[in-house]
Structure 1
């Protein structure tokens, strides 16, 4: 069932809301995600409403530099990110780009991640070529 969730960083400087049926969360094992510990759920672009100007957030890009990890400049929490584009191999195997947002479900009011299945994303095995 689709529900509207309010989300924010720890200090509430960054605010957003989503419409989602959160039937699972994703845990990635790449180096940055393993340290971060976020439980991610993807939502389409039209189901995400940012209430804080994007320019007010800090952004981190790494690897292929096609993803954007957005952080609160005050408390440092990552409430959401723009997922990376498919690698050449993924695109060759038919994986289409995702036009939406990956939301850290730990930042959603009233959502208990212990009640949904966890899917592991093997980000540590992706071969990412640095763009210059």
Structure 2
């Protein structure tokens, strides 16, 4: 897949962002928060992520080591993205928040978050 630009947003539209990715794989995670939010994510380097609108509409949640930074819209509660724990210069983007993103032909890798020290 070639690199492509995608626009993303929360449900109410207060948080809007743009990413560029070639989406080599999608991931799921078995940590306690990812299981509950049931997200499928694409990993994007911070240089390929731009928050367009809604910084003030975001709220942040951290737990355990307080390294990963999970962001949610304060208005509608949707999780659009998070800064990753193992690679904090990358974002995990909720693919269901992306406009026109197709999962067809993209492998999904299950990551192990619950067993991380």
Same fold? TM cut 0.5: yes
Give the secondary structure class of the aligned counterpart of 2:53. Answer: coil
Q: Is the 8 A contact 1:18 1:48 kept in 2?
A: yes
Gaps of 5+ in 2: none
Q: Which residue of 2 aligns with 1:16?
A: 17
Query: Normalising to structure 2: TM-score of the pair?
Result: 0.92
Q: Which residue of 1 aligns with 2:109?
A: 119
- Give the number of aligned pairs: 116
CA offset digits 1:66-92 (Å, max 9, x no partner): 1110000011001010111x4xxxxxx
Gaps of 5+ in 1: 87-96, 128-132
The alpha-carbon deviation at position 22 of structure 1 amounts to 1.0
CA offset digits 1:32-65 (Å, max 9, x no partner): 1011011111111110010124343110000100
Write the distance in 1 (CA, Å) between the matches of 2:99 and 2:24: 16
Q: Which residue of 1 aligns with 2:57?
A: 56
**RMSD over equivalenced CA pairs, Å:** 1.3
Write the distance in 2 (CA, Å) between the matches of 1:65 and 1:82: 11
Q: Is the 8 A contact 2:80 2:93 kept in 1?
A: yes
Structure with greater strand percent: 2
Q: Which residue of 2 aligns with 1:108?
A: 98
Runs of 4+ residues deviating >3 angstroms: none
